[in-house]
């Protein structure tokens, strides 16, 4: 059963053990920003060790391997060096996909090699091969669609794609993947069955991700992250290789944890994110009812006056800040306010941005120290003591309706309680609704001022006004 791939050398397995320990220590390093760089380095060393040990264990054809590693390494290095921090979600998405397709190809290759031999593949190998192909192919095409949506490619509409009969079709395709897998397991000598499993799973990956849009993307990326790990673990069972199993399950666990954190932060179940359609509540109040002439627009000069007397400001960034590339302007504003004796903190909602932790990376890139970045649960009790809450490009995550209206589509979603601050300033292009498609009564509150316009331009004007005052 796949013993061609079993490595008997104790030394190599020892190297795999060391590599696995390095991966675990590497992730452990990520529990604090101070130790994180070293942690990532340990992980990379683990990978190098595992790859080298495998290379040396088999007297192999170095040409193919060298060529593959050089090509892949160059592409990876260039992509890593060039990518904008705002584009991080699509980068991680496409890398997830590459991990998935690699597992598909490895499992397929292994099956082909075994079929050339005398004995047919054993039951463990064939089940694991089916699992690798299924999970790997779903991960690959799902990730490509997620990448396309996040990158804004025309081929992939970034919004939810809904069509009649979608759910029955998805169910049918899911059943077909199971059917093809059963075919493969019952006739393990037929490689066509394997590629059929992969083909139908690829279709399933596309169908599962196209109905998901906008603010639900962090969940999808975290889930695909988990799948890419599980695909690698399944490949480990194909090859009887423990380092693949260990690393794959570490990644699988990581993705599942992040997925559940994201779902909790939106107060929605995973099933609802994947299969439910989020739309405006049919009987919800209209935008006119909510705003009804109570929205106050303010000039940069008026907002500057507010900040002049402020002791404590809390900035709430959302995806809109990333779109407007306003993070560097926000850093300048922070420095200016602090030089005038006003303390500044950032309130980060777990689902702000397009992937878990996205806002933190964008703000860190702009040289904002990480100890100013506060989690929602930490900052919420202190918002009453904030003189100004500045909301930049965020909407649903500061909508008080989540607390007050049980019939709202976002009811029960934990939000950042900016409405409790003495004054709220919202920087936003217009009154258009966020992903949840509902109006936000925060914009019409007595203590709210709206600064309409592009996020970056508005902050730059605010800085200029502050310097003049």
Residues annotated catalytic, as ranges:
396
Indicate if the alpha-carbon torsion angle 256, 262, 264, 269 is positive or negative: negative
As given in the structure block, the two tokens for residue 159 are 């919004």
Question: What are the structure tokens assigned to 168, written together?
Answer: 């029955």
Distances (CA, A) of 305 to 311, 418, 462: 13, 19, 10
Binding-site size, another protein (CB under 8 A): 114
Distance CA 382, CA 401 (A): 20
Q: Candidates 138, 215, 220, 232: give the one binding another protein (CB under 8 A).
A: 232
Cβ(100)–Cβ(138) below 8 Å: yes
Q: In sequence order, what are the beta bridge partners of 214?
A: none
Beta bridge partners of 317: 392
Nearest to 236 by CA among 113, 380, 125: 125
Residue of 356, 409, 439, 441 that binds another protein (CB under 8 A): 356
Near another protein by CB under 8 A: residue from 76, 152, 279, 292:
76
- Count of CA atoms in the C-beta half-sphere (13 A) of 243: 23
Confirm or reject binding of residue 85 to another protein (CB under 8 A): yes
- 318 binds another protein per the rule CB under 8 A: no
Nearer to another protein by C-beta: 14 or 172?
14
Answer for which of 188, 213, 236, 441 binds another protein (CB under 8 A) is 236
Closer residue to another protein in complex, CB, 136/211: 136
Between CA 342 and CA 312 the distance in angstroms is: 5
> Which one among 11, 14, 73, 269 touches another protein, defined by CB under 8 A?
73
Nearer to another protein, 187 or 370 (CB): 370
Q: Does 365 bind another protein (CB under 8 A)?
A: yes
Which SS3 state, helix, strand or coil, does residue 189 take?
coil
Q: What is the DSSP string of 3-67?
A: GGG----HHHHHHHHHHHHHHHHHHHHTTSHHHHHHHHHHHHHHHHHHHHHHHHHS---HHHHHH
The residue among 197 and 306 lying less far from another protein, judged by its C-beta, is: 197
Which of 9, 11, 14, 79 binds another protein (CB under 8 A)? It is 79
Min CB(162)–another protein separation in Å: 28
DSSP symbols for 73-139: HHHHHHHHHH--GGGHHHHHHHHHHHHHHHHHHHHHHHHHHHHHSSSPPPHHHHHHHHHHHHHHHHH
Residues 21, 247: contact at Cβ < 8 Å?
Answer: no
The CB-of-288 to another protein minimum distance in angstroms stands at: 37
Task: Work out whether 370 is an interface residue with another protein (CB under 8 A).
Answer: yes
Q: Which of 106, 184, 209, 220 binds another protein (CB under 8 A)?
A: 106
Stretch of residues binding another protein (CB under 8 A), selected from 74-82, 266-274, 329-337, 405-413: 74-82
> CA of 289: how far to CAs of 2, 220, 413, in Å?
67, 34, 22
| Residues 129-188 interacting with another protein (rule: CB under 8 A) | none
289 or 338, CB closer to another protein? 338
Which residue lies nearer to another protein by CB, 26 or 211?
26
Q: From the CB of 445, what's the least distance to another protein, in Å? A: 28
* Of 19-27, 150-158, 168-176, 280-288: span binding another protein (CB under 8 A): 19-27
Between 140 and 156, name the residue whose CB sits nearer to another protein.
Answer: 140
Cβ neighbours of residue 106 closer than 8 Å, sequence gap 6 or more: 132, 235, 238, 239
- Determine phi and psi for 213, rounding to 5 degrees: -140, 170
- The residues near 95 (Cβ < 8 Å, ≥ 6 apart) are none
The verdict on 65 binding another protein (CB under 8 A) reads yes
Candidates 62-70, 153-161, 437-445, 450-458; binding stretch for another protein (CB under 8 A): 62-70
- Comparing CB distances to another protein, the nearer of 145 and 230 is 230
Q: Which stretch binds another protein (CB under 8 A): 89-97, 207-215, 290-298, 330-338?
A: 89-97
Q: Which of 9, 11, 14, 80 binds another protein (CB under 8 A)?
A: 80
State how far the Cα of 130 lies from the Cα of 99, in Å rounded to an integer. Answer: 16
Touching another protein, residues 31-50 (CB under 8 A): 31-34, 36-37, 39-41, 43-44, 46-47, 50
Q: Which stretch binds another protein (CB under 8 A): 222-230, 312-320, 337-345, 461-469?
A: 222-230
- Cβ contacts of residue 113 below 8 Å, gap of 6+? 4
Nearer to another protein among residue 16 and residue 443 (C-beta): 16
Within 246-305, the residues that bind another protein by CB under 8 A are 246-255, 257-258, 261
Nearest distance, CB of residue 444 and another protein, angstroms: 31
Stretch that binds another protein, among 110-118, 295-303, 314-322, 399-407 (CB under 8 A): 110-118
Q: How far is the CB of 270 from another protein (least distance, A)?
A: 17
């Amino acid at each position: 059963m796949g013993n061609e791939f079993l490595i008997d050398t104790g030394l190599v397995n020892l190297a795999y053990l060391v590599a696995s320990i390095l991966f675990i220590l590497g992730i452990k390093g990520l529990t604090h920003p101070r130790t994180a760089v070293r942690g990532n380095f340990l992980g990379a060393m683990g990978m190098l060790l595992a790859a080298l040990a495998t290379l040396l264990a088999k007297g192999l054809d170095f040409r193919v391997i060298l060529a593959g590693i050089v090509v892949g390494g160059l592409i990876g290095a260039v992509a890593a060096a060039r990518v904008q921090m705002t584009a991080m979600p699509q980068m991680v998405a496409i890398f997830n996909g590459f991990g998935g397709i690699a597992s598909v190809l490895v499992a397929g290759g292994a099956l082909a090699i075994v079929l050339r031999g005398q004995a047919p593949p054993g039951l463990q190998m064939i089940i694991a091969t089916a699992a690798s192909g299924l999970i790997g192919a779903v991960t690959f095409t799902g990730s490509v669609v997620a990448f396309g949506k996040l990158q804004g490619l025309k081929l992939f509409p970034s919004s939810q794609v809904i069509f009649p009969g979608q759910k029955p079709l998805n169910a049918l395709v899911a059943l077909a993947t199971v059917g093809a897998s059963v075919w493969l397991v019952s006739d393990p000598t037929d490689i066509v069955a394997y590629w059929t499993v992969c083909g139908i799973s690829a279709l399933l990956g596309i169908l599962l991700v196209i109905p998901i849009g906008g603010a639900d993307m962090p969940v999808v990326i975290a889930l695909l992250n988990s799948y890419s790990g599980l695909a690698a673990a399944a490949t480990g069972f194909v090859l009887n290789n423990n380092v693949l199993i260990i690393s794959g399950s570490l990644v699988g666990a990581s993705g599942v944890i992040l997925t559940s954190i994201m779902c909790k932060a939106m107060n929605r179940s995973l099933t609802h994110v994947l299969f439910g359609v989020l739309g405006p509540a049919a009987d919800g109040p209209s935008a006119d009812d909510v705003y009804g002439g109570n929205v106050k627009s303010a000039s940069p000069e008026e907002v500057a006056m507010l900040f002049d007397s402020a002791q404590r400001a809390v900035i709430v960034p959302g995806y809109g800040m990333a779109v407007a590339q306003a993070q560097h302007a926000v850093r300048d504003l922070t420095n200016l306010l602090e030089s005038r004796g006003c303390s500044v903190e950032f309130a980060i909602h777990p689902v702000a941005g397009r992937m878990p932790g996205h806002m933190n990376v964008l703000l860190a890139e702009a040289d904002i120290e990480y100890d100013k970045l506060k989690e929602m649960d930490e900052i919420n009790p202190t918002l009453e003591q904030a003189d100004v809450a500045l909301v930049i490009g965020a909407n649903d995550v500061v909508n008080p309706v989540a607390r007050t209206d049980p019939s709202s589509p976002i009811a029960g979603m934990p939000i950042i309680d900016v409405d409790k601050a003495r004054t709220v300033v919202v920087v936003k292009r217009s009154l258009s609704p966020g992903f949840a498609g509902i109006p936000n009564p925060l914009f019409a509150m007595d203590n709210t001022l709206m600064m309409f316009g592009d996020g970056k331009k508005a902050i730059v004007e605010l800085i200029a006004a502050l310097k003049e005052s």
